[in-house]
Amino acid sequence: MGVGGVATVALSLLSAPAAALGTPPPGGPCAGHAARHDRIASVLDRRAEVHARRGHLATARAYRRRARWQVELAHYYGEQARRHPLPRGAAVAYRTLRRSTALRRSFLMGFEQLTPENEMKMERLQPAPGVFRFREADWIVRFARKYCKRIRGHTLVYGRQLPRWASDGRFDAARLGFEMEWHVRSVMDRYRGRVGEWDVVNEAIAADGEYTRNVWFRALGKSYVERAFRAAHDADPGAALFYNDSGIELPNHPHTVAVRAMIADLRRRGVPVHGVGIQNHVSTTHNASEAALAKTIRKFTKLGVTVAITEMDVKLDSPGAPARRLERQRLVYRAAARACRRNPRCTSFSTWGVGDRVSWLGPAAQGLLFDFGYQRKPAYSAVSHSFGSPPGRETSQDEPGRPLGAPRL
C-alpha cells in the first residue's frame, strides 16, 4: 500500500460514518418509508382484485380500504422526505395506541415524535426493587421505530407516579440515592441508541421557585438532580438529556427564574444537562403570549441548552360559541409554535395526547389538536404551519422547513 493508501485509511478513521454522527441519510431519516408503504399498498390492491374476481366483495372492499390508508401513509412519508420538517410530537399511552385505530392513524399522519405517556415512569418500569417490567415500553418503542418516529423518553426521576418501595420510607437516604441511579442506568441502558432524548428529571421546582419536596429531595437535597444527570450521561453518552417542567412559560415567573438558576448552576459545574422541556399546559384564558414565550426560550438557550415544547394542551375555558373558542385555541397554539419555531435551538413541539377523546384532562377540556372524533381542529394547521408536513399543505415562504437531524446541543 502506497502513501496515498495510508492517508485514505487515516482519513476514513477520522471521519466517523454519517449514521454515527446522527446525520440523517439523504431524504431524511425516514427515506424509504414512502416506497415501503407504496409497496404494501400494491400488495393489498392485488389481493383486493383477487377477492373481487372470486366474488368476495366485502373482503375486496376491506383490502381496498387498507390499501388507500397505505397510500396516504406513503404520501405523508414522501412529504417528510422532501421537506425535512421539525418534528411535531404527541404523548400516547400503550392501551389507547393498541385499542384505537383512529388514534393510531391520527398519530401516524400527524406527528413525527412520540412520548410514552406513563409507560416509562418509575412505578411502571420498576414496580418492585430490582424487578423491571419493560413490556409496554418496549412495545411502544418498537411501534415508534417501525414508523420512523422519534421517541422522547419520559421520565426517569420524578416525584410522582413512584412505586411504593421508593416512597414508603423503607430505604434510607444512601440506599435511595443508589436505587435512583440504578434505575436511571438500567432504563437508559435498555434503550440506548433507540431513545435519543430523555426527560431525566421532571418537575423538581415548585411554583414558588423552591425545590419540590418530593421523596428524592427529602432524602438527598438538591444534589439528586445532579446525580440523576450524571448517571444518565454515564449510561448513554449519546443521549440528549432534558430537565422538564410545567409553569415555566413566563420569563419572569419565580418558577421560571428558579429553573433558570438551577440549569445555569448545573452547567457551570459541568453537569451534562442539554435541554429544557417547557410543558406548556395552558388554557384559552391562561397562557403565555408569543413574545413572552419566545423570551423564555431565548433566556434558556442563552445558557447553552436546547428547548422543546413537550406537553402542550390548551384547555377551552373561555366563554362563547364553540367556533370562537376553537379560534382562541388556535391562536394560543399558533403563538407557542411560532415562539419555538423562530428560535433555531427550539427543536420540537409536542402535545400531551392526540385527540380530545383520550386526554389526561378529560374530554371536556378539549385541549388537543384532534377532536373527539379524531378530526383535525383549527389549531392543527396552526401548529403544522411551523412543524411537521401534513399531506397537501405547503409551508409559507417565511416559514421554510428545517432539516430534521440529531438534536442540536
Nearer to ligand XIL, 167 or 246 (CB): 246
User: Are the C-beta atoms of 67 and 41 separated by less than 8 Å?
Assistant: yes
- Minimal distance, residue 9 CB to ligand XIL, in Å: 49
The one catalytic residue in 79, 226, 249, 311 is: 311
Nearer to ligand XIL, 139 or 360 (CB): 360
According to DSSP, the β-strands at 197-202 and 240-245 are: parallel
- Exposure string (b/e) for 202-239, b if CB count within 10 Å is 16 or more? bbbbbeeeebbebbbbbbbeeebbbbbbbbbbebbeeb
The one catalytic residue in 112, 197, 203, 249 is: 203
Which residues contact ligand XIL by CB under 6 A?
Answer: 117-118, 202, 246, 279, 311, 360
- Minimal distance, residue 155 CB to ligand XIL, in Å: 6
- Minimal distance, residue 227 CB to ligand XIL, in Å: 20
CA dihedral 131, 156, 152, 283 (to 10 degrees): 120
CA atoms lying within 13 Å on the CB side of residue 276: 31
- Minimal distance, residue 281 CB to ligand XIL, in Å: 6
User: Are the C-beta atoms of 87 and 387 separated by less than 8 Å?
Assistant: yes
Give the Å distances, CA to CA, from 295 to 257, 266, 314: 12, 21, 20
- The cell numbers describing 96, all together, are 389507547
For cell 400488495, the residue is 43
Nearer to ligand XIL, 41 or 201 (CB): 201
Nearest to 329 by CA among 407, 383, 403, 255: 383
- Minimal distance, residue 305 CB to ligand XIL, in Å: 18
Nearer to ligand XIL, 80 or 212 (CB): 212
Nearer to ligand XIL, 100 or 246 (CB): 246
**Residue 315 φ then ψ, to 5°:** -65, 135
User: Are the C-beta atoms of 318 and 328 separated by less than 8 Å?
Assistant: yes
Start-to-end CA distance of the chain, whole Å, equals 40
Active site residue 179: no
Active site residue 226: no
Residue nearest to ligand XIL (CB): 360
Distance in angstroms (rounded) separating the CA atoms of residues 281 and 158: 17
R_g over Cα of the chain: 23
- Minimal distance, residue 311 CB to ligand XIL, in Å: 6
Nearer to ligand XIL, 80 or 214 (CB): 214
Question: Which are the catalytic amino acids?
Answer: 203, 311
